[in-house]
Copies of this chain bind each other. A is one copy, B any other.
Amino acid sequence: MTRLRLDLAYDGTDFAGWARQPGLRTVQGCVEDALAQVLRLAQSPTIVCAGRTDAGVHARGQVAHVEVDAAIDLSALARSLRGVLPDDLSLLDVSIAPEGFDARFSALSRHYRYRVCDDPGSWDPLLRREVVAHPRPLDIEAMNAAGAALIGEHDFAALCKPREGASTVRRVLDLSWTRGSAGHAEMTVGADAFCHSLVRSIVGVLVPVGDGRQSTVWPAEVLASRARDPRVTVMPPHGLVLEHVRYPEDADLAARQEVTRAFRGPA
């Protein structure tokens, strides 16, 4: 068997998220079924991804791996997969995974972008599936000042949906808001990993600072409480895009996998 690396992009609008669920249209289900179809497998293979996006969340740089029969023609496989994948899901690349590569456990960091349009005069109907409308203008500087408190290693229990037995400690590597070319407020954020709904909760705790409903220190206070705060809105999924996933140099892939597994425990 050979491990393949798959680079994927999708419009999350019509998917019930990444993870396969019986009876629902999911990204994982579509890719696994497409692989089974083109490789003529009796049973769909299991693919593992770097970032299990929620329903409605998009990706421009999702990474996954899958085990296949060693005797495979990569370019023929790419052509066949592209022929059967639906319009809203695309295979950007397929390659032989280097030794020690695991899409989930070898990843160094995940990088997301969230976009908000805070001015009806710059609302672009062509981008309505990936930009969230907000009725009040946002102060980018205030959101950056408040967001700085979230950078670094913290227990994000206040901003996560908790999962039995799993740590809510994460390391946020960078977080910044800018005015995008179309005039939208754009947040980019990178972390070693994100717990469930963390990015959307981070946006939900910064937007009220941006529009003046909360002070710049409020997000730090919420974080410090380490308890879910009902005042924190989990923002809508469609503003969120998984932009890319970083991996170490090939020589360090296996070591990274071990570190991550030890820290986060079994999947």
Chain A residues close to B by CB (< 8 Å): 9-11, 58, 60, 78, 82, 87-93, 120-126, 128-130, 241
Q: Tell me if A9 and B124 are in contact (CB < 8 A).
A: yes
Q: Which of B87, B123, B125 contacts A125 (CB 8 A)?
A: B87
Bound CA–CA A123/B92 (angstroms): 7
A125 to chain B: which residues have CB within 8 Å?
9-11, 87-90
Q: Tell me if A60 and B126 are in contact (CB < 8 A).
A: yes
- Tally of this chain's copies: 2
Q: Which residue of B lies closest to A119 (CB)?
A: B92
Q: Tell me if B9 and A60 are in contact (CB < 8 A).
A: no
* Given A82-B120, A120-B82, A58 and B126 contact (CB-CB distance below 8 Å): yes
Q: Tell me if B11 and A122 are in contact (CB < 8 A).
A: no
Q: Tell me if A129 and B126 are in contact (CB < 8 A).
A: yes
Q: Tell me if B87 and A122 are in contact (CB < 8 A).
A: no
Starting from the known contacts A60-B124, A88-B125, 5 additional A-B residue pairs (CB-CB under 8 Å) come to: A9-B124, A92-B121, A92-B122, A92-B123, A126-B130
Bound CA–CA A241/B127 (angstroms): 13
Q: Which residue of B lies closest to A81 (CB)?
A: B120
Bound CA–CA A187/B91 (angstroms): 25
Q: How far is the CB of A121 from chain B (nearest CB, A)?
A: 5
Bound CA–CA A87/B122 (angstroms): 14
Q: Which residue of B lies closest to A117 (CB)?
A: B90
A130 to chain B: which residues have CB within 8 Å?
126
A93 to chain B: which residues have CB within 8 Å?
121
Q: Which residue of B lies closest to A60 (CB)?
A: B124
Q: Tell me if A126 and B92 are in contact (CB < 8 A).
A: no
A126 to chain B: which residues have CB within 8 Å?
9, 11, 58, 60, 129-130, 241
Bound CA–CA A261/B207 (angstroms): 50
Bound CA–CA A131/B218 (angstroms): 42
